[in-house]
Amino acid sequence: MPYASIEPAVMGWLRASQPSVARTATRRIAIVLFDGFSLLGTGLVAEVFHVANEIVGTRSSDEWVYDVTFLSAGGGNVTCSSSVRVWTDGLDARHFSGFDALFVAGGRGATAAAHDERLIGWLRRVQVKTANVRSIDEGHLLLEAAGIGNRDSEYQFNSYLKQAGRDAPIADTGDRLAPMKGALTMVKRDLGLDIARSVAERLMPGSSARFVPILGDAGAASAGDKIRAAARWLQDNCERPISIADAAQVAAMSERNFLRRFKLELGMTPSDYLLQARLAITCSLLIDSELPVDKIARRSGMGNGDRLAKIFRKRMMISPTEFRMQSRRDVGG
C-alpha cells in the first residue's frame, strides 16, 4: 500500500541512500501543504526522513529509504505562517496508487479546505492505498471532514501510552512534536531502534528522554515485528477467506492480545486493516480492468457485488461504478 521528492529550494534537504541490510522499495512520503502551515512542524517531519536517509547513506547502498514530496491543492508556491514560500506539486490522479505515509498540514488554508469536496474526494481515494495518514496541527480538521480522522497520529500515540500504562501522553492537541514522533515511529519500524534514536538525537540533541515512550521499549519493538509480520500476511492473503484468529496465530499471540497490540502499532483494528487491503485491490481492478463488480468482489475477498457496493459507498461515499468512471476521467483529463 504504498511515495516522492523534496524541492531543493526549501531547505537543501539532500538525497541519501538506503542501507544494504534492508533492501526494500523506497518509502513514498507525501506532505500536503496549505497557506499558513507551520514551517516548524512540517520541517521537523521532513527532516526526520532526510536525516534517516543521511545516516543510512553512510552505510552504503544505491537508493533512498524515504522519498518525500510536498503537495498542495493547486501546486506551485505555498506560503507558511512565517511567510516562507515552499514549492509544491499539485494533486492529481497519479497519486491514487497511494503513499507509505501521508501527512496533512494545518494552517488557515486547511481550515477552509475542510469544505472543499474535490479535495476531500482526493483524500478519500488516496487513503485507501496509503499505509499511514497523519495530521500536522489543524490538518486533523480536513481528515475528519474526509472521515479518516480516526487514523490521526495523535489518537494513535495517546492510545499507545494509555494501554502501555504510562502516565503522561506524548501527543495531544497541544503537542507540537506529535507529527515528528509519528515520523520517528516509522523510521523505527523500517530501519530499527538505533537509527531512530540517532535521528532524534541529531534533530534535538539531548532530547532522548522526550522520545522514550516510542524509542525506548525493546520489548515493544519485538512485539511490533510480530504485528507487522501479521499485517503483511493479512495483506498478502486478503483475497482469501481468512480470519483475525488466523492472523493472531501468525503473530504467535492470543487473539485478545493480538487485537490490542495491532491497534497500538498500526492505529486501526486488524479488521479495518484487512478491509483497507481488500478495498485497495478493488480500486485497482475497477480502474485497470473491465471486470464486472460482482467478479471484482470475489477476486478481492469482498464476497459479492451487493456487499462490495454497500461497503464501498460507506467508505468511499461513492458507488464502485461511479468510482471507476470518475477515476478514468481524472486519468484521461
7 is a domain residue: no
For residue 83, what is the domain's CATH number? 3.40.50.880
Average pLDDT, the chain: 76
Do 232 and 118 have their domain in common?
no
73 is a domain residue: yes
252 is a domain residue: yes
Do 249 and 280 have their domain in common?
no
Do 48 and 77 have their domain in common?
yes
Q: Is residue 136's pLDDT more than 60? A: yes
For residue 302, what is the domain's CATH number? 1.10.10.60
- In this predicted model, what pLDDT tens digit does every residue of 229-264 receive, in sequence order? 888 889 888 888 888 888 988 888 889 889 988 888
Distance CA 36, CA 92 (A): 22
Do 48 and 145 have their domain in common?
yes
13 is a domain residue: no
- In this predicted model, what pLDDT tens digit does every residue of 45-92 receive, in sequence order? 999 999 998 888 755 444 568 999 999 988 899 999 888 999 999 988
4 is a domain residue: no
Do 198 and 259 have their domain in common?
no
186 is a domain residue: yes
Q: How many domains does the chain have?
A: 3
82 is a domain residue: yes
Do 177 and 137 have their domain in common?
yes
At residue 224, the pLDDT reads 75
Q: Is residue 154's pLDDT more than 70? A: no
31 is a domain residue: yes
Do 249 and 326 have their domain in common?
no
Q: How confident is the model at residue 267 (pLDDT cuts 50, 70, 90)?
A: confident
Domain with 297 in it: 273-332
Encoded amino acid at 86, one letter: V
What contacts 189, CB < 8 A, 6 or more positions away?
Answer: 224, 228
Please state, as a whole number, how many other Cβ atoms lie within 10 Å of the Cβ of residue 168: 7
Do 315 and 301 have their domain in common?
yes
Do 45 and 168 have their domain in common?
yes
